[in-house]
Structure 1
Amino acid sequence: MLARTPVRYTPAVERLADDEAGTIDALNAAFREILETTSTDYGHAVRSVHAKAHGIARGTLTVADDLPPELAQGIFARGGSYEAVLRLSTNAGDILPDSIGLPRGLALKILGVEGERLPGSEADTTQDFIMVNGPVFTAPDAASFLKNLKLLAKTTDRAETGKVVLSKVLRTVEAGLEAIGQPSATLQQLGGAPHVHPLGETYFTQTPYRYGDYMAKVAVFPVAPALTRLAGATIDTGDDPDAIRAAVRKALIAHGGSWDVRVQLNTDLDAMPIEDPRVEWDRAASPFVTVATLEVPPQIGWDDETTARTDDALSYSIWHGIEAHRPLGNVNRARRDTYRFSADFRRSFNGCPMHEPGSLAELV
């Protein structure tokens, strides 16, 4: 039993901001600038955010049996197993050397999911969760995020050497803040993040989702000893621009990994707002509770030829999914069209067909 009764979902929990459509149009324009810059320079279109993958792994997500009613919701309503694929990445929209310290991302795609589909995802059977190794989003809404994105668009794929130098400076400042218990998510976004090993990190959706009759944030916690030993471990990125990819590849070949999928139910709309993802929900009031496990057997997490083709053929979006896990809030509403725009641009530029896989056997 949960310590507090979770708040039931109703559409009324969301509040539309003024001119959301205009903000989304401006976000698409900024993403177009990033995509056109990188695709021209690389001769190949990459993602407008989280462009650089460090590993792609196939595994199995197993939902726990006999969850209490509040947790037995959506795809977690019944015990059982799903095929899954996860992608580890860094958040920039250009392919940067790993010496630039940036937050890590984990995109999880669950296959063979049944249920009423979200708009634009009617023909699919996947459920995507996109997460970052920090519990909160840095902007209160899409309009504020747009201001940051416009700056990033102007600096995408330019002055790489300067970015490396700036990252070292920011990392020094951020390390000092971390030492006194006051890390800065903003400095980390700008290049001051530590060079942590992606497989040792905990990843959070940061933004809320519908959770069947309730609302929740989702997180993935490493639990295998080989992964928990990597928590906080850093990677020497000095001589190899792809040092993180090499470290992930080595670890996945050696031991694969296992993670808990946990959810944090909303128990107070005032203290746990839906529309402001900067607010971390109180874990004492509502702890993260395990609803499933993710098992990845030992495998090659990156091969320059084969994995790159798989990466091109896949797209991830929080709007790939079922209505029971509808993304909530202004930031998530803005992501619907912008994610689709980015995927459509890559598909058109690269001439590479994309579709949501029905099984792992369909992947390269």
Structure 2
Amino acid sequence: MTSRLAVTPLRYHPDVEHIQPDEPQTARDLAETVLSIAQKTYADSGHATRSVHAKSHGLLAARLEILLDLPRELAQGIFADPLGYEAVVRFSTTPGDLFHDSVSTPRGMAVKVLNVEGARLPGSEGSTSQDFVLVNGRAFNSSNGKAFLRNLKMLALTTDRLEGTKEMLSKVLKGLESVVEAAGGESAMLKSLGGNPQTHILGESFFSQLPLRHGDHVAKIAVVPASDNLRALAGTRLDTSEDPDVIRHEVERFFAEQTAVWHLQVQLCTDLAEMPVEGVETWDEKKSPFVTIARLVAEPQPAWTEARSQAVDDGMHFSPWNGIEAHKPLGAIMRLRKLAYEKSAAFRSQRNATSVVEPLSCPFAESGAGQKSASLANGEQ
């Protein structure tokens, strides 16, 4: 029998969002800034990369298994039925430059769930996938849209310059962040500037940070380690002093022999006053905890190859706006992202030999593996 939920979630309605008159101009300014980053790195390398999260560390074929007997409030959107979906997972770090791993910035995890059904979000009508874009921190690093634009402009000014200086700055910021964390805190700003602890990316938990629709409700998304081998890596530090690609090499070493299992979780909004959609504040997990609704499984495989990089780094884009209406991104920051993501993908597609397209299947999965099917997942943790 389907269990009952411990909280009473807010029902989604369009009035949870409050669009400001100046948002269209801010969105255009943001998109122009994103393109300026891409243009700088392209001028230097002759290859168009992402304006943010340019460096990938793992490119995986995976499957998403929806749990059985979810409460009605959780069984929403692509999670409505206990199915299994083919998926592509991309691990990355945030800069638009391909830095030495000693410049330690936040880690990203993007999940593309393939062949989903449902009414599409505007601009994604030609796609059949659902993207979730996540970072290893609960809090977004800008307080509002204007601050987001200011911070991105600062990043644009330093793009493709002074890598050695950034390595030294990163050392200082990592020390400051360790002091903050020792006191029980966390600074999204220090991490974004290069102060992220030099941790193993597979031990991290990842968060949408910002809300999206969860069918009839509103939620934030998390993907957290579930298998013992991933949990054992939580907090594990890497020596980044010698190997510029040590994060990637550690991911390759893991997936040479091991299977990874993550839990995909949702945190439902129960009160707009305390869990605002337009703000960037973290939501109180005591009032609404993250609840597991699916498993993400990646079996042993070559975790990064040039062919995979061409297929995913060049040939795919990941955007919270690539999906179905049941998982519509919400709030000002999410709205401002839409145009910037579209412009960035178009820039890469126009300049590289590999065009950006939405896949119907994972280009490097075994034949038939992970395609939509009856899920093997159950409610056990």
Bin for the TM-score computed over the shorter chain: over 0.9
- Alpha-carbon deviations, 1:171-226, whole Å to 9, x = none? 11221222122222111111111011111100000010101000000110111111
SS at match of 2:118: coil
Once the two structures are overlaid, the 10-residue window that deviates more, 100-109 or 169-178, is 169-178
Extract structure 1 runs of 4+ deviating beyond 4 A. Answer: 361-364
Whether contact under 8 Å (2:140, 2:209) holds in the other structure is yes
- Alpha-carbon deviations, 1:78-108, whole Å to 9, x = none? 1110000100000111111100111100000
The residue identity in structure 2 corresponding to 1:342 is S
Cα shift at 1:3? 2.4
Q: What is aligned with 1:109? A: 112
Indicate yes or no: 2:139 matched with 1:136.
Answer: yes
The residue identity in structure 2 corresponding to 1:123 is G
The residue identity in structure 2 corresponding to 1:36 is Q
Whether contact under 8 Å (1:49, 1:91) holds in the other structure is yes
Q: What is aligned with 1:270? A: 273
Cα shift at 1:363? 7.5
Identity over aligned pairs, percent? 48
- Alpha-carbon deviations, 1:16-39, whole Å to 9, x = none? 023101101111111121011101
Q: What is aligned with 2:86? A: 83
TM-score calculated relative to the size of structure 1:
0.97
Q: How does 1:332-347 map to 2 (within 5 A)?
A: 332-347=334-349
Q: What is aligned with 1:317? A: 319
TM-score calculated relative to the size of structure 2:
0.93
Q: What is aligned with 1:291? A: 293
SS at match of 2:358: coil
Q: What is aligned with 2:171? A: 168
Q: Distance in 1 between matches of 2:125 and 2:44?
A: 35
> Which runs of no fewer than 5 residues in structure 2 stay unpaired?
367-381
Q: Distance in 2 between matches of 1:136 and 1:170?
A: 18
Cα shift at 1:362? 7.4
- Alpha-carbon deviations, 1:109-152, whole Å to 9, x = none? 00010000000111211000000000110112221100001111
Whether contact under 8 Å (2:310, 2:354) holds in the other structure is no
- Alpha-carbon deviations, 1:48-100, whole Å to 9, x = none? 01000001000110111111110110000011100001000001111111001
Q: Distance in 2 between matches of 1:360 and 1:192?
A: 34
Q: What is aligned with 1:202? A: 205
Whether contact under 8 Å (1:357, 1:363) holds in the other structure is no
Count, aligned residues: 362
The residue identity in structure 2 corresponding to 1:21 is P
Cα shift at 1:276? 0.8
- Alpha-carbon deviations, 1:267-306, whole Å to 9, x = none? 01110000012x1111111111111101100111111x21
Pick the aligned partner of 1:179 from 166, 182, 185. 182
CA pair 361-172 structure 1, distance change in 2 beyond 3 A: closer
The residue identity in structure 2 corresponding to 1:308 is S
Whether contact under 8 Å (2:348, 2:355) holds in the other structure is no
> Which runs of no fewer than 5 residues in structure 1 stay unpaired?
none
Whether contact under 8 Å (2:87, 2:112) holds in the other structure is yes
Pick the aligned partner of 2:331 from 316, 321, 329. 329
SS at match of 2:257: helix
Pick the aligned partner of 1:350 from 344, 349, 352. 352
Cα shift at 1:9? 0.3
Q: Distance in 2 between matches of 1:329 and 1:205?
A: 12
Indicate yes or no: 2:244 matched with 1:241.
Answer: yes
